[in-house]
Each structure stands twice: as C-alpha cells, then as structure tokens.
Structure 1
Amino acid sequence: MLTSTVCVALSAAGLAIALLAAYRRRFRRATLIAAVALLPVGLYMTGLVSLAGTVIRAVGEWAADLVFKPSVWAGFGVLALSVVLYVLARVAGRRKGVPEAGGGGAVARGAAAPALAPGKKPVPKKPKTDPDLAEFGEIEEILKRRGI
C-alpha cells in the first residue's frame, strides 16, 4: 500500500514538472521528463518494485551470512581451489603437449594432418602467386627498400 502511494506520488510530481517544461515551450525536455516520470508507476504495476525488494533482502541476508558464517568462507576457499586446479591443468597440458583425455592427439581435435616420421619437420607450402598481382612486385621491392 505504501509502495503504491510512493510510486504514484513520484510519477505525479514528475508529470507536473514535465507540464511546467512544456508550458515554457521546452517540448523535448518535457517529453524526456514525462518518460522518466512514468517509470515508478510502470515498475509498480509490473511487480518489479516488490521483486527488487525481495532481491535486496536476499542479498542482504547472504552478505550477513558471508560475514558471520565460517562455512561460507570455506565455500569460497573450495571455489578458489577449484579454479587454481583448473588453470594448472590447462597450463600443464599446453606446456608439455599432453593430449586431452580420450587420446588421438590431433585426429581427436578434428585436424587431418598426415603422420610424419620421427625427427622430420613438415615442409611449408609456397604460396601461389596470382598472375594479376605480378605487376605489384616492383612496388613491393621499392617499399621493402625503404623499410615500409
């Protein structure tokens, strides 16, 4: 009951200010003020004001528990440990090249690379040159000479 009265009063005051701005021929400002003034009534009618009150009370209770309950602090410790273990596993896997669970290495990740003999490096392919771009070779040389 009190919430509805406050919301209606806020909207009425805002609309009165909007009418005053319109009387002074500031129509753009009056429209903006009216738009903002209608928010409290709209929020109350949709039930979002009471929802916000419920959320604020829940956050307040959680914050009080955070301060006064050691089990909440232990929960944060468990979450932190979980994050640290996850990051360590990811870093260790990247450094040593250990394949993920399931084996298969590159094939399991979707790559179709040919198998190479141990100790041999793959030979990079030369890019194909476009005959239409051959005339730009001179320009490339000039730019390289000038360090661009």
Structure 2
Amino acid sequence: MLIYAVCGTLSAAGLWFAYRSFRRRRYATGLRTASVALLPMGLAMTGVVRFVLNMTFNPIAWAGVAAVGLAVVLFMVARALDARGVPDGGSGPTPGEAPAAVPAVAGAGGELPAAPRREAPAKKSGGATGTEDFSDIEAILKKHGI
C-alpha cells in the first residue's frame, strides 16, 4: 500500500505541473510532463516497482546482474580486439598434428622474395616559414579552372 501512496503522490505532483504547462499554452511541454507523470503510477500498478524492490534486497539477483555485466564486458572486449585486428591464434595446428606444407616461391638464388617496403613520406627539415611547395595544389586548381 505504501508503494501506491508514494507513486500516486509522484503522479499527482507531475500532473499538477502538466496542468500548469497547459494553462501557459505550452501544449507539447504539458503533454510530455503528463506522460512522464503517469509512469510511476503505471509502474506501481503493473508490479514493476515491487519487482525492483524485491530485486534490490536479493543477493541472488545481484549475482545475476553481475554475471550479465561480466558477459557484456567480455563481449565488448572481444569486439575491441576484432576491431584492432588481433588474430585469434586458434587456426594453427594442434600439438599432435604435423604442420601443413607451406608452398614457398623461391627467387633466383633460392631465397624467398622480400616483402614490398612502404615508403614513409619525407619530413621537411627545419621550420617552414610559409614557403611550402604548393605546386600539387596549384595543379589541381588549374585542372578545374580555378
């Protein structure tokens, strides 16, 4: 019964604020306030409030919340590892298996070809005083007739 009294008081106060908004011709605000004001009483009538109160003082329920939280954290960590491109490492041979033969392409001297190198952009030495080379930008602008 106390739940209904508290939720009813909250709903009545919210509906009073909604009425004041309607009187000031703020119809959208009044409707929004009325919808939020009806929530406490609706939750009390459906039994959600009693469920939440019972869950608050139940250690088994908190253990379940912790398990769900841990599952969410583990899932997010796995997604972060996938996004970073960290390999799983589970695709290799098992300890009892022989490794599969890997075809190798040999060069003229029998060694494997080297991996292509990426060229790093050259950094300009010294402080630039506004005399940077804008020839590539000028070429693009001339190409478009600007």
- Same-fold call, TM > 0.5? no
Shorter-chain TM-score range: 0.3 to 0.5
Higher helix content, 1 or 2: 1
TM-score by length of 2: 0.45
